[in-house]
Each structure stands twice: as structure tokens, then as C-alpha cells.
Structure 1
């Protein structure tokens, strides 16, 4: 390969590697002040309102055992964009979120700053991920 072609190929590869690095960021989600130190916390990361509202088509999902008052999960490198997080604590470890009628019987929360006990919305929970970021989720019960 001659020098100009080698230079162009090398420059193209470097540009691809740099642009991939710039378009992804590390996402850490944290829950503090957990009341019941037991069960499992489930986290789902959504990119759109439709998936968020239907609890499906999540971008990524994590789960962690609850053994202390503060829990963190690392979603790793996530492509830049707008996202929202939903979380719930499966206190009795039965693999699902329990309800009392229409109301959740187990702690739940979103990446929203709101502390209202109301159905969460993607709009209120969304955040822009464009750099390494830690997002708080407050569990409600």
C-alpha cells in the first residue's frame, strides 16, 4: 500500500475510534436510603416513551441484591442520547413487582426528580447522557 493510501486508511480508522469513544458515556445509577435491606433491585434503561410506558423494549437491564442502604449499578458505556430509568425493589424475591390493587406494594422509582406517587412518565424521568454520569433513583412506597 502506498503512503497516501496508508495515511488515509489510518486516519479513517482513528476518526472512527475517536467518534465511537465520544458518542458513548458510562452510566451509573444509584439508589440511597433503602428501607428494607433485602430482596433484589431491578433497573431498566429506556430510550423512548413507548417502551418506558409499556415496560418493554428496554435498552439494558441490571439487577443487584440489596445488602446495604445504598446500591449502585453500572450500565457501562451507553451511546449518547436521552434515556430514562425505572427501578423496583423485589422485597420478597418472587421475580415480579407486587401490587395492592393498582398501587405498587413494593418500593419503586424512576430517574425523575419528582417524589409524587403517580404513574411515572418518560418525559419527567428522561435525562441526556452525553458524558459519564451518575443518576439518582428515589424509591417510593
Structure 2
């Protein structure tokens, strides 16, 4: 009788447990870096709020020395879902975008899924993409105004 109770309890927990959430890897190849100075700051967002330049609202971030960047950047074990990624080539290492007197960016930047606009910040809606496979590759070209 006790054995039957233990088996019934075990199987009831097995059937009511949450299923394993699928995860994937995003592998990013970055091209057109102007030089090997400073850091490459990469911010992954799961919502429009804060995109593209509020690190406090990111899902995950990475800072990589550009001089050591020799292989693709990887974000592993990400739950399937919608993402947008912003990139900043922080050449002077101050962890923020620098602007000239006219408000134009002086360092390189990019976002996933969108060509860059000279007149406005990138929008989440144009930069977002779906991670719904176990391994997704992105090719990102850095953009510089000067």
C-alpha cells in the first residue's frame, strides 16, 4: 500500500512539473571594426524599453576587448523568444557613446537586423529577431560616421 502511494505521488509530480524551456545560442560575427582600441559593448534586450542605449534595462551584456576579439561572440543558453542587440565600439573606454557638438555619434555602433539611420536612434521593432533554433548566427557590420 505504501509502495503504491509513493509511486502515485511520484507520477503526479512528474506530470505536473513545468516542461523544460528550450534554449539556444546566438553566435555573432562582427565586421568592419575601425581599429583595435577600447571595448566592444554588446547589450541584449528582450523588450523595447531601454533599447538601444540603456544598459540598466538589458537582459544580458558583454564587454570584450577589441584587441582580443578573434572569434565570434556567443550568448549561450538563452530562452527562445524575441531579442534585439545593440553594439558600441567604445574606443576610449568610458563605457558610453561619445557625441560631437552637433549630437552625432563619434564611436562605432550597430544593432541587429537593421541598417543604421543617420537621423534617429534605432528602433526595437526593426532590430528584433526571433531565437527559435538551437544555434543562430548573426553577421553585424559596425557603422562609423567619421
TM-score range, shorter chain: 0.7 to 0.9
Corresponding residue of 1:6? 10
Q: How far apart, in 1, do the equivalents of 2:117 and 2:71 lie?
A: 22
Corresponding residue of 1:113? 114
Q: TM-score, normalised by structure 2?
A: 0.78
Corresponding residue of 1:29? 28
Instruction: Structure 2: give runs of 5+ residues left out of the alignment.
Output: none
Indicate if the aligned counterparts of 1:111 and 1:125 stay in contact, CA closer than 8 A: yes
Instruction: Structure 1: give runs of 5+ residues left out of the alignment.
Output: none
Corresponding residue of 2:124? 122
Q: How far apart, in 2, do the equivalents of 1:71 and 1:111 lie?
A: 18
Q: How far apart, in 1, do the equivalents of 2:83 and 2:106 lie?
A: 26
Q: Structure 1's 71 and 109: CA in aligned 2 closer, same or farther, altered over 3 A?
A: farther
Q: How far apart, in 2, do the equivalents of 1:129 and 1:40 lie?
A: 26
Q: Which moved more, 1:101-110 or 1:28-37?
A: 28-37
Indicate if the aligned counterparts of 1:110 and 1:120 stay in contact, CA closer than 8 A: yes
Corresponding residue of 1:138? 141
User: Per-residue deviation at 1:83?
Assistant: 0.8
Q: How far apart, in 2, do the equivalents of 1:54 and 1:87 lie?
A: 9
Between structure 1 and structure 2, the one with the greater Rg is 2
Indicate if the aligned counterparts of 2:53 and 2:86 stay in contact, CA closer than 8 A: no
**Between Structure 1 and Structure 2, which shows a larger proportion of helix residues?**
1
Tell me how many residue pairs correspond in the alignment. 136
Q: Which residues of 2 match residues 1-141 of structure 1 at below 5 A?
A: 1-2=3-4, 3-10=7-14, 16=19, 19-20=20-21, 22=22, 24-53=23-52, 55=54, 56-67=56-67, 72-101=72-101, 102-118=103-119, 119-131=121-133, 132-141=135-144
Q: Structure 1's 78 and 106: CA in aligned 2 closer, same or farther, altered over 3 A?
A: same
Q: Secondary structure at the match of 1:67?
A: helix
Q: Which moved more, 1:125-134 or 1:50-59?
A: 50-59
